[in-house]
Chains A and B, each alone.
Chain A
Amino acid sequence: MTTPHSDIVYVEMQFSTSLAILDLIQPITNRICEQLGYDSDAQYWIWLATQEALNNAIEHGNKMDTNKKVQLKVTVDAGEFRITVKDEGDGFDLSKVPDPTKPENILKTSGRGLFYMKSFMDQVEYTTENGTTVTMIKRLQEQTP
């Protein structure tokens, strides 16, 4: 058994608040996913989770303020693919985010981003100090050579 390997093990970038950046970031995460041996389905869901985190940082964290920055960090280490997104917003109370699958929330037109991130990644962690930092982890699957 071998652990998948990627030539790209660390990417860090900072950009001004804009949704236009998403199309530039997607090929980077997809390329790393490919090198790590994730199939196209897994790539799709990893990108969806990444996009949801970026959407939240841009829209809810930085509130579309182009003077604020979003930081993205992608690392491959210790058997984990780790994606970190940091904004410069006021943070939020995770305990107050409603569960979108509860009957009273099912028909709400927003509030599913975090749920999708948790659904498609193995682990999602939040800290809210000097902005919100979300870290999403996908554990690498061991491959038979």
Chain B
Amino acid sequence: MKINIRNEGEVTIVDLEGKITIGEGDVLLREAIHELTSQSDPKILLNMARVAYMDSSGVGELLACFQAVNEQGGTLKLLNISTKIKDLLQITQLLSVFEYFNDESNALASFG
């Protein structure tokens, strides 16, 4: 998986590309978020437009990142999740845990 990090004001946008699966994207995602949570009050938008596939380990890692950011007093939101990833989150009751957007400017505005 490839990760690109860019900043829009106070929000850090993490562009993900590839798959988030056991032993592959999950570790890279964890490391990237770990680095970002060293700041206080991190505001992170995970752009998943180019994430076509995720397994249960990826779902678990997404949740771990969400919790790590919350523990730092920050916020992690999702952008452009595919229908299939939405299904994966939905059937395990996780879709309501995450705030997600289909439009980057709306997502950025939601951070206030």
Residue positions of A touching B, CB distance < 8 A: 19, 22, 41, 44, 48, 51-52, 55, 59, 100-101, 106-110, 112-113, 115-116, 119
Contacts and interface: CB of A to CB of B under 8 A. Distances in A.
B97 interface: yes
B93 A101 contact: yes
- Chain A, interface SS category: helix
B67 interface: yes
B22 A112 contact: no
Contacts of B24: 19
26 contacts: A19-B23, A22-B21, A48-B55, A52-B55, A55-B57, A59-B22, A100-B92, A101-B91, A101-B92, A106-B94, A106-B97, A107-B63, A108-B60, A109-B60, A109-B61, A109-B64, A110-B56, A110-B57, A110-B60, A112-B59, A112-B92, A113-B56, A115-B56, A115-B92, A116-B88, A116-B92
B84 interface: yes
A52 B56 contact: yes
Interface of B: 21-24, 53, 55-57, 59-61, 63-64, 67, 84, 88, 91-94, 97
A106 B60 contact: no
Given A55-B55, A101-B92, 8 more contacts: A19-B22, A48-B55, A109-B60, A109-B61, A109-B63, A110-B56, A116-B91, A116-B92
Contacts, number: 55
Nearest to B65: A109
A102 to B, nearest CB: 9
A107 B97 contact: yes
Contacts of A109: 60-61, 63-64, 67
